[in-house]
Amino acid sequence: MQRTYAEEVRGGDADAGLPQILDALRWRWKAILLFAFFFTLGATLLVERLPSQYDSEAVVAFSPRADVPAAGTDSVRVLSPKYAAYVTSAPTRELVGSRIGESAGTL
């Protein structure tokens, strides 16, 4: 009986099951283990070379509330710098630092 092209490409019967896979692993386990070792080694070296600390920046946008008639762009222009001063103030950094386990200087 002739084998089809698909069977030849796959290298066996179309109904190859677990015994055939285990048989293939039995003969190729050293190559698979060697590949896994070098893959793990490469991943470990890559992770170790990455910096353990990252810098970030947050952008906050303010806009006037639609349901408050007295709130306008002038209010936002006056109040926005106060929020920036509050967020970067020493007491706020100390409070946040104590909650997340970092020093205020790190933040």
Retrieve residue 92's tokens.
């706020």
CA distance 41 to 21: 26
The pLDDT value recorded for residue 48 is 92
Segment 5-30 shows an average pLDDT of: 73
Average pLDDT over residues 36-45: 97
pLDDT mean across residues, the chain:
79
3-state secondary structure the chain: CCCCHHHHHHCCCCCCCHHHHHHHHHHHHHHHHHHHHHHHHHHHHHHHHCCCCCCCCCCCCCCCCCCCCCCCHHHHHHHHHHHHHHHCCHHHHHHHHHHHCCCCCCC
The predicted pLDDT at position 1 comes to: 56
Question: Which residues does 103 contact at the CB level (< 8 Å), separation at least 6?
Answer: 97
Counting residues of the chain whose pLDDT is more than 90, the rounded percentage is 16
